[in-house]
Amino acid sequence: MARRTMKFGGTSVGSAEAIKQVVAIVRDFLADGDELAVVVSAMSGVTDLLLESAQAAAAGNKDEFIAINATVRQKHQAVIDSLIPSGAARAAIEAEVNELLQQHLELCEAVRVLGEATPRISDALVSFGERLSSRVITAVMEAEGLPVQQMDSNHLIVTDNQFQDADPLWDETEARIAKGLRSRLGAGVTPIITGFFGATPDGTITTLGRGGSDFIAAIIAAYLDSDELVVWTDVDGVMTTDPRLDARARVLPYVSYQEIGELAFYGAKVLHPKTVQPIINRDIPLRVRNTFNPSHIGTVVGAKTQPSETVIKAVTGIRDVSMLTVSGRGMLGVPGIAGRTFLASAKAGASILMISQSSSEQSFCFTVVDALAQNVKAAVESELQREIQHNNIDSVDVLSDIVIITVVGSGMRGTPGVAGRVFSLLGENRINVLAIAQGSSECSISFIIEQRDLERAVAELHTLALETVEKDSINRIGSPY
């Protein structure tokens, strides 16, 4: 018997067929005597639709948010029609869905009147995706005779009020999970919990960022002392690159917490970047598996750095970023310019994805998402106004249409010449590198290239990963878990 926390992503719960798979998986684990806590995402596409409804409402477009509401209804109704026999149980879940969709409409109407979708209202609006999916899935499982109970995560996950990207308040969350969840597990009930959102101490809904259901599941796994966290998704595991970027992508049998942290931060959407945070110190293994191919063992993510043939394990890319360069001869030896620049960027709401400084100290560059680049430029120029007036700084330039490529692998630490190999490969392929940075953990190297070179760069570097991943798959018998 093991205690497992499982999370099923949007595609895994995206249709009646998919939900059938989820039911079969949960049933199998329960039959083995496991104690499960299950976290679910919204049905695929629903979070995007709900965000669109917020925008439509803010723009005063009533017809559009009503149409979106109808589309969301239809997606859930199709599951109900196909998986819940008509009768009292079906009527009950239809009433719950109705009630939630009515609340969604009322909230949209409030946004329309206000003329603005604040991050706070937007978080409340998108939470309907998980509220709906978790209730429908619970009803399906009940109809299948599984001992389940739906739960909303705003009662379990306490966060700060950083809407759209909230962070947990750990102690309060631990206490809520101990009180609200542990007792149910002991009573033989499998909770079906909403992912994505939590609430401030006063109960206002917050979300933990796009893809945040992974993070919620990890928090729950940590405070339930789970033996394993399983993230069920639509690919066989963590792969050498996004299979949508290069079809040759292969599943990695094992990656360390640190490696997955870098991968996720630099764009591998397969896990939310903060997923390992709650489990890392507890040494809870995380397994990424495919809902649609459950016989595949998946990828194990754990603490140990396992001996690996593979130096570069994976390649990721982030699109839609801009590079800002602050340059000027007068910067040499003037302390604090970088610090003030980054503070000004943060005040403009931008997190910095990568920083690089020229060795002469006459310039440094950093990257932010495209959407914020002009705001950040204005904020930095205003902060450095004096230096610019005195010609100590020449300019703050923005370069758009660039991408960040990152190669990840902890084997780089002890292997000289990896960077050399990477950059000569790019040089041979005439791919121009605009800036370079190495993660302090030495398990990643990031660099900036032009957007048009993205596919070619990934393909070339990916070949380096593919050279050895085969050997690791064969050696997986040596996996530490």
Residues engaged in binding Mg ion (CB under 5 A): 9, 211
Binding residue for ligand ADP, selected from 84, 107, 218, 239, defined by CB under 6 A: 239
What is the closest distance, in whole angstroms, from the C-beta atom of residue 213 to ligand ASP in the complex? 3
What does the CA dihedral 104, 108, 109, 113 come to, rounded to 10 degrees?
150
Question: CA 277 from chain center: how many Å?
Answer: 13
Binding residue for ligand ASP, selected from 42, 312, 318, 384, defined by CB under 6 A: 42
Q: Quick one: what does residue 42 bind among ligand ADP, ligand ASP, Mg ion, none, with the CB cut-off 5 to 8 Å set by partner type?
A: ligand ASP
CB nearer to ligand ASP: pick between 42 and 68: 42
Site for ligand ASP in 169-198 (CB under 6 A): 195-196
Say whether residue 129 binds ligand ASP (CB under 6 A).
yes
Say whether residue 234 binds ligand ADP (CB under 6 A).
yes
Question: CA 318 from chain center: how many Å?
Answer: 13
DSSP notation for 342-400: HHHHHHTTPPP-EEEE-TTSSEEEEEEEHHHHHHHHHHHHHHTHHHHHTTSS-EEEEEE
Question: CA 340 from chain center: how many Å?
Answer: 29
425: enclosing H helix or E strand: helix 418-428
What is the closest distance, in whole angstroms, from the C-beta atom of residue 132 to ligand ASP in the complex? 11
CB nearer to ligand ADP: pick between 235 and 376: 235
Say whether residue 53 binds ligand ADP (CB under 6 A).
no
Angle at CA of residue 225, ends 219 and 228, nearest 5° = 80
Region binding ligand ADP by CB under 6 A among candidate stretches 7-15, 70-78, 80-88, 169-177 = 7-15
What does the CA dihedral 299, 300, 301, 307 come to, rounded to 10 degrees?
-100
The dihedrals phi and psi of 416, each to the nearest 5 degrees, come to -70, 150
CB nearer to ligand ASP: pick between 138 and 213: 213
Q: Residue for token digits 């993510």?
A: 301
What is the closest distance, in whole angstroms, from the C-beta atom of residue 229 to Mg ion in the complex? 14
Q: Which residues pair with 446 in a beta bridge?
A: 406, 437
CB nearer to ligand ADP: pick between 80 and 270: 270
Region binding ligand ADP by CB under 6 A among candidate stretches 3-11, 60-68, 333-341, 400-408 = 3-11
Site for ligand ADP in 31-50 (CB under 6 A): 41
Q: Which residues pair with 287 in a beta bridge?
A: 230, 300
What is the closest distance, in whole angstroms, from the C-beta atom of residue 25 to ligand ADP in the complex? 13
173 touches 180 (CB < 8 A) = no
Instruction: Find the distance separating the first CA and the last CA of the chain, reported in whole Å.
Output: 16
Q: Quick one: what does residue 314 bind among Mg ion, ligand ADP, ligand ASP, none, with the CB cut-off 5 to 8 Å set by partner type?
A: ligand ADP
CB nearer to ligand ADP: pick between 213 and 345: 213
Say whether residue 10 binds ligand ASP (CB under 6 A).
yes
Site for ligand ADP in 287-316 (CB under 6 A): 314
Binding residue for ligand ASP, selected from 11, 12, 47, 53, defined by CB under 6 A: 47
Q: Are strands 314-327 and 395-408 parallel, antiparallel or unpaired?
A: antiparallel
CB nearer to ligand ASP: pick between 218 and 353: 218
Rounded Cα distance, 225 and 209, in Å: 24
What is each CA distance from 14 to 51, 119, 132, 329, in whole angstroms?
17, 26, 12, 56
Binding residue for ligand ASP, selected from 5, 21, 41, 356, defined by CB under 6 A: 41
- The CB density around residue 408, as the number of other CB atoms within 10 Å, is 30
* Cβ-proximal residue to ligand ADP, closest one: 9
What is the closest distance, in whole angstroms, from the C-beta atom of residue 302 to ligand ASP in the complex? 22
5: enclosing H helix or E strand: strand 3-8
CB nearer to ligand ASP: pick between 214 and 246: 214
Say whether residue 469 binds ligand ADP (CB under 6 A).
no
Site for ligand ADP in 396-455 (CB under 6 A): none
Rounded Cα distance, 378 and 400, in Å: 15
**How many Å is the Cα radius of gyration of the chain?**
24
What is the closest distance, in whole angstroms, from the C-beta atom of residue 295 to ligand ADP in the complex? 18
Interface residues toward ligand ASP, by CB under 6 A: 9-10, 41-42, 47, 129, 195-196, 210-214
- Residues of this chain that interact with ligand ADP (CB under 6 A) are 9-12, 41, 211, 233-235, 238-239, 241-244, 268-270, 314
